[in-house]
Structure 1
């Protein structure tokens, strides 16, 4: 295995950098790792499915405390670098209007994901279960797409409802199931990898300069396309299968131990 020598390292949030269960926290060892990367002159970045407006308070504190440089949000659809927009890929407004109209007509709960927040339409037991699982703050607003650029949509339904819901969704768009009651609906070309590549090109960097840590299905393209992809020990099996390396689980100081084992940072007191 070639030892990675990244110039920038990307971290997914939920169950990679942030334990979103029980006490909900960023492991102290992960903070140590972030500081160690900065000390070595390696940039640090977030790469998440969340929009910036619904980042957990503890993640916002870590961004400030550890000097995280970049946030790749909404599965790569909106990228900010040191608080300034670097790349953005909004969905066509007419497409959004037509889709929400169709979903409302069939009483399918869904939500708009904008830079400004998460806005729900037609809440039900499916949306409640999914949004509660990640403790996602949201506002009920069926007209949000008229005021804000929409970068992604969430549609709330189970796999048992596929026959009823799938014909309503745009052909060719990506469907990524992140909860038994919810999917991310992305543009066909949308991914964390696209957002990362667009941002790095503006900074004069290549994908080969990047390293990334993730745990879920929406991290697949990111881990495959960066120079070195790391799956958490708690990652889904299909992500581990494409990763260059599998580090210990988040609960077992995975980020810190992975970076030390790979020689990216030096071992020290956690």
Structure 2
């Protein structure tokens, strides 16, 4: 297995100090900067809107690399916005907003989104029950080609052609990096898709069970602690991916 050339990192629940909160772990950020000093592309792969993703990448010092927003729908690189999917979920999003406002409310980022729309849970609402109500609504309205999922922060309504793997594959293509030279880490079931665009998929220690089952490695610690463990391991192995799966 070759050396590492790119590390794909989810943001919410992965670079934050825990799931469900938004505080970034600055020590983890500094360790990623150390990794980038070895020429490694740090690629953010997130469900956030493109402006949030691109802005965060710039201020964290990772804007030399492409980044993936809207769960794979949008890729941002050197000032260019690249849409990876022509599907449209705006009608589905409008229906959710109109008919399920008692349990969900739209993210403030939705006006800046192109195809993946996020909805926050109202207090006390069970995520799985909300997902089921969204599925039933879209089925009743006869909408097809729509995918829904829960990130641990919001319910996402998107075209079925959208995936984090699709976005990451486009990002890697832009910088000439192979999937066999890429490691990915995340926390939610939505990150399972990254297995199709990386050599090694890592789940943070407090990840969704579905991701833990799919991942090659379940890292110790929670959220950003798992990121720091992974970066330390990669540096100890001199960026060689051979043997990483034995961890």
**Is TM (by shorter chain) over 0.5?**
yes
Deviations 1:181-208 (A, max 9, x none): x632222221010011122223322222
Runs of 4 or more, structure 1, over 6 Å off, are: 20-23
Contact 2:50 2:113 in 1 (8 A): no
> Paired residue for 2:203?
231
Q: Is 1:77 the equivalent of 2:82?
A: no
Once residues 136 and 219 of structure 2 are traced to their aligned partners in structure 1, the CA distance between those partners, rounded to angstroms, is 40
Once residues 252 and 79 of structure 1 are traced to their aligned partners in structure 2, the CA distance between those partners, rounded to angstroms, is 24
Q: With structure 2 as the length reference, what TM-score do the two structures score?
A: 0.75
* Alpha carbons of structure 1 residues 74 and 100: separation in structure 2 relative to 1, 3 Å: closer
* Alpha carbons of structure 1 residues 169 and 246: separation in structure 2 relative to 1, 3 Å: farther
SS in 2 for 1:253: helix
Once residues 184 and 142 of structure 2 are traced to their aligned partners in structure 1, the CA distance between those partners, rounded to angstroms, is 30
Equivalent pairs counted in the alignment come to 228
> Paired residue for 2:13?
15
Q: With structure 1 as the length reference, what TM-score do the two structures score?
A: 0.70
Q: Is 1:173 the equivalent of 2:146?
A: yes
* Alpha carbons of structure 1 residues 202 and 216: separation in structure 2 relative to 1, 3 Å: same
SS in 2 for 1:184: strand
> Paired residue for 1:161?
133
Once residues 40 and 172 of structure 2 are traced to their aligned partners in structure 1, the CA distance between those partners, rounded to angstroms, is 14
SS in 2 for 1:174: strand
Greater Rg by CA:
1
SS in 2 for 1:5: coil
> Paired residue for 1:127?
104
> Paired residue for 1:152?
116
Q: Is 1:67 the equivalent of 2:54?
A: no
Contact 1:17 1:250 in 2 (8 A): no
**Deviation of 1:252 (Å):** 6.5
Q: Is 1:200 the equivalent of 2:150?
A: no
> Paired residue for 2:124?
none
